[in-house]
Structure 1
Amino acid sequence: MFDIKWIRDNSEAFDKALARRGYKTSAENLIALDDARRSHVTKLQEAQERRNAASKEIGKAMAAKDEAKAQALKDEVAGIKSFIQDGEATERELNAALEDAMAVIPNLPLEDVPQGEDEADNVELRIVGEKPTFQFNHPPKEHFELEGAESGLDFTTAAKLSGSRFVLLKGQIARLERAIGQFMIDLHTQEHGYMEVSPPLLVHDTALFGTGQLPKFEEDLFKTNGDHYLIPTAEVPLTNMAAGEILPEEALPMRVTALTYCFRSEAGSAGRDTRGMLRQHQFMKCELVSVTKPDDSLDELERMLGCAETVLKKLGLHYRVMTLCTGDMGFGARKTYDIEVWLPGQDTYREISSCSVCGDFQARRMNARYRPEGSKQLGHVHTLNGSGVAVGRALIAVLENYQNADGSITVPDVLRPYMNGLETIG
């Protein structure tokens, strides 16, 4: 969400930045809506001033026993009152029109974000580690083809229970998923300084508006029969912890993490990744959220990226870091790094984490502010979010990268304490 005053003062820069994202709305359109609203508010104020003045004149006319003038003034006041009542409804409509137009405009990219239309234009920042080599002659298998994992990945029963894009994990595979999640949350709380939070998985629409999922992306969400939505990511409840708050400067940065299930309709993914568990309606993710002072947010983005990378380094997984181009960034982001893990079964890299800085975009939508030390002026905080990382995709990566000739899976060293010392699955 943007400040219309800032748009008025920086209309050329606003249009230029939006054009980089391929967005059509211009500052001129928004200013026109604001002009209509301002003009109407001025008329209402003038009408209220005239009503107050006429009310005083009625008293004077009555005192002078000028009944004709008094009656004329009363008729005028009645007309003004009717105009004000109708005008207040119009004012609400004009306010809503401007707010609705502003609510669907994406965040403005930072100047160093690469220009591009889609993922093909993303820029490789670095590659970490090497692709694994295998002691067998056949091509590496995908996770759902591995004999050692087959009994633990039950897509048939899941489809019977819930339909497509669900999986039922069993036995040591279920335990391995739990181990990966516990390893991540322990790493981020014990080594990276995040506070663990166990948030609600159901939220109101105001929380989703605050982080930018609503109103534009409602089709991607699961809504209950009441007024709740299932969270698509723990970013929603974690970031909204600051909603409506005025945080003291010494409370920043606020760093929180949560290991939760997430729920997405995958409305725009028909036909994509239908085999296996790469793209699911329900999945587990370890989320990282930071709330910072404006001057600290870019450094915090690099720190958050490092925290997410540490997960893959400790798991011994080969990956690359990509800087997303303007056309591939999320709605609320100003800059985003994707971590893409190597999946030998697919012979390609797949995204396992996104780390984004949002500036004050979300903070304005949720009215999250802070009080700078020694200042009477309040400022909006900056927010950041990142996957630290997606547990389901990390599970896929472990299964495929640690597969053996007989289809069994070697358990990475860092996970063995969470698996009661188990070294091999299958």
Structure 2
Amino acid sequence: MVKLLEHIANRNSENEESLRGLRKRRVIAYLFVMVASFILLGQDWKNPLLTVNMIESSNHTHYNATHHNNNHSSTSKNINKKATKETAAPKETAPKETATTSSLRKTKNETIPPPLPVDPPPLPRIAYIAMGHLNSTDRWDGCLHPATDYFVPSPDPYYIVMNEQWRAKYEQLVETNSTFQNYSSRIQPIYTECMPETKGWPSCCKQDQGLAHFYKHYYFDATNQNKKYDWICFQDDDEYIRHRAMQEFLRYLPITDEPIVIASDPPEGHPLGKSGYIPKQSPYKCPRDSDNWKYPWGQPVFYNQAAFELLMPAWKAGAMTKQCKEFDLYAHDTGNALLHWMFGIPALWMRNPASIKSGMRNDFLGMHSVSRFGPQSSMKAVHERYQKMSYPYNNELRPQYLWSSNATGFNQTKTYQLYGHPSTWGESWHIFPTSDCQKSFE
């Protein structure tokens, strides 16, 4: 009996120890579950791993999860919560349309933005080159000088292309006018021999000679070995560019080592060589009903290094000047479109309206015709209004890259049959005549 009682006592003791061990294991398991829950479901308190890119199309909303850094955790938290609700009941809790998403609705070639790179590419360096004159100082006071404050990146200069006839006047103003003197360290004149004529082709000449001069003197560093700029912009003097937004637009391009031009025209472009400035007595000569004979106007126009160097022999040969004369073109934007088309360079669209009358939207990268419609359109007013707008690109909204159709029409021409691709011509330019515009490659 004594042995039996001892056995029962020992067994009870073992059971109590087992129970205590079980309780410990349960506590450990519970703590493990709590920690796992915080890790998997409770990321709002720290750094979320995912954000959701929302691109609204005409029928539905796409969600694209992308990795990002710590700087936007609060924004990502709100978007993640919204995305969870919308997934459960998309019809009842559709996302509110904002100015940004509205501007991207129903756009051509719409795609979901690519994931944000873990290590973003460096911001590209852009050279800004504008045409100018000194018939008066108004455009300098209203556009060129303010541009150096608002979008030309310091300490880079603003390169201003003007005719040789203005050299003495500009140098005199730098000596006698306090404003010109203050900005002279940020302005780099480029003088050309493009004297005014009855027709407007001198603006095409300014692009020819201005870019050729820039390439020779300012494209490379002092050692003449390294290129100073990733992109070169050529534009009118009344153009405002959102420089930082433009850098973001360019830095994420999937391809940068092939020739690319950035134009402000929509991807469908304009009929080749057609302009509102062509005299009425000069009928339009090229086909109207084929995309092969269309190209976006370049105002402003951005060239990457590959495109800039590809076109340089043509500019040195005065190709734009010769083609603008042949087609009775008034402005460089229609002239460079013709030249880009002959080379078959892909064109990418940047949203850049012709004037402030088109309104100001967050996804616009610039504004043409500033200071032409009163004080509300001045360079300063445009800049201040854009400064108040939210930044157009961020972790939730990447740039939309819309390309024009391939430019292949020149390959169908008699000029191409005789001389081949313009890249093989060097500085011996063969004019593409208007008489050849309707003739197909045989």
TM-score by length of 1: 0.22
Which one has a larger percent strand, Structure 1 or Structure 2?
1
Question: If you compute each CA radius of gyration, which structure gives the higher value, 1 or 2?
Answer: 2
TM-score, length-scaled by structure 2: 0.21
Higher RCO (CA < 8 A, seq sep 6+): 1
